[in-house]
Homo-oligomer: A and B are copies of this chain.
Amino acid sequence: MAPPKSWLAIPKDSEFSLSNIPFGIINSKGSPLEKRPAIAISDHVLDLKAFSKGDGFAGLASLSKEHLEVFSQSTLNAFAALGQPVHNSVREYIQDVFSETTSRPEILKDNDALRKEALLPKHETKTHLPMEIGDYTDFFAGKNHAFNTGALFREPKNALQPNYTHLPVGYHGRASSVVVSGTPITRPSGQILLDPTADPKVPAFSASRLLDIELELGCFICKGNDMGSPISINKQAEESIFGFVLMNDWSARDIQAWEYVPLGPFNGKNFGTTISPWVVLPSALDSFRAEKIPNEAKILPYLQESRQDTVYNISLSVDLTTSEGDTTTISRVSASNLLWSFPQMIAHHSAGGCPMRTGDLLGSGTISGTGENDLGSLLEMSLGGKKDIMLTGMHVRRFLADGDTVTIRGVCGEEGSYVGFGQCSGTVASAVPF
């Protein structure tokens, strides 16, 4: 099938093709104080507030005047709360509006005034956190990562904990520390055991020496549940998904190692988690469904899915750019490397009655493959900090250096109809002096 064409110039390699139409929050040079919803297309964004005020949605009868209010908000929460049928009809309508053979040329194609008002060059805009995040939960569904890291600390036979194949292991994260791509990440200081073998164990307070990344996929919730009323697997769980973002769950391995017994990661994680700015809808990814990693355990009914292709074949990559400007792609891996799907994570998270809310964010857990060039963390690439990772320009790393920039990308599909996420990028700033 030839990719759909637009009257707008869309480079063949654009990850924001007509097949994508992801949602985000922008401001612009022209209206710097006004954060508002937009979609990304080619090297432009369509300002949905201006589009809506300029009667751009006149051809979408199902969107009431009240609905249009969601495009005047500074986050996507109100839009997300309208539910998948509305998200999909808005996306399809915008696809039609931009199509070469649009049924409504008067809306935008032939409407110079509205194009000028609402269709902005991306470089004149800035993206912001797309949602107000109520709660953020980070799962651990990347089985290869769980195995690789478990094997670093235990024998391979016991690399996975006994619960791992029975439930999507996860922990509550820190919503306040989620930031949008481009936000600098300050190297955290904290308690660290400089000599983990010493007895007694006496921590020092120091800047983290083992600053790491975690390559993850994030998932935003559009429809939640009342406390005490679990979300069921399959249809209900799938309908509670708004869309997906790329995520870098920056991790301070030395802080984490000392603090995490017995209640889990805390300051080793809560100093910053970066997400990409554009929320890609499930409907945009539907052609890229893939099967999860097979689970040999007999899973309980509340986690049983009616289909197995509930993850996505998104080509993820991680670039590390040194402060000198040398860039190395340190990983390429498919986002399908998960033992548990987001619907399973949602069903599990709410199984005891925990309320999910619009804007909640779930992280997949670190996504690694089974090879050497498809790993989602430096901890794995450096074999627990024992091996140099070779970079372009004669640089080596075991963990991140100040000034390093890590950029995650993710894209599906083929030339002319790529569905991508934009960058999830952050630069490490030096620790604050104490």
Which A positions have Cβ atoms within 8 angstroms of B? 134-135, 140, 161-163, 166-167, 169-177, 179, 183-184, 186, 188-191, 200-205, 208, 224, 227-230, 252, 255, 258-268, 270-272, 300-302, 348-349, 351-357, 360, 429, 432, 434
Contacts and interface: CB of A to CB of B under 8 A. Distances in A.
Given A177-B227, A186-B228, A429-B228, A255 B352 contact: yes
A162 B197 CA distance: 12
Contacts of A252: 352
A177 B354 contact: yes
Given A266-B170, A271-B354, A272-B353, A360 B176 contact: yes
A354 B432 contact: no
Contacts of A189: 230, 351-352
Contact of A355 (B140, B176, B203, B205): B176
Given A171-B263, A265-B264, A432-B229, A201 B353 contact: no
A263 B170 contact: yes
Given A140-B263, A353-B272, A354-B271, A135 B166 contact: no
B176 A263 contact: no
Given A174-B135, A177-B227, A432-B230, A188 B352 contact: yes
**Copies of this protein chain in the complex:** 2
Nearest 4 Cβ contacts at the A-B interface: A264-B264, A188-B352, A186-B228, A171-B263
Nearest to A175: B135
13 contacts: A134-B175, A135-B176, A161-B261, A162-B201, A167-B191, A167-B258, A171-B171, A175-B175, A183-B227, A186-B353, A260-B262, A262-B264, A267-B351
Given A263-B140, A266-B170, A258 B163 contact: yes
A169 B356 CA distance: 26
Contact of A163 (B183, B203, B300, B360): B203
A188 B167 CA distance: 16
B191 A166 contact: yes
Contacts of A255: 352
Contacts of A201: 162-163
Given A258-B163, A272-B227, A301-B205, A349 B267 contact: yes
Given A162-B200, A230-B432, A265-B264, A353 B175 contact: no
Nearest to A351: B190
A271 B352 contact: yes
A151 B202 CA distance: 22
A302 B205 contact: yes
Nearest to A207: B352
A271 B163 contact: no
Contacts of A259: 163, 167, 169
Q: Which of A163, A188, A255 has the most CB of B within 10 A?
A: A163
Contacts of A163: 191, 201, 203, 258-259, 261
A46 to B, nearest CB: 30
Contact of A172 (B166, B179, B270): B270
A58 to B, nearest CB: 35
Q: Which of A177, A354, A429 has the most CB of B within 10 A?
A: A354
A353 B431 CA distance: 9
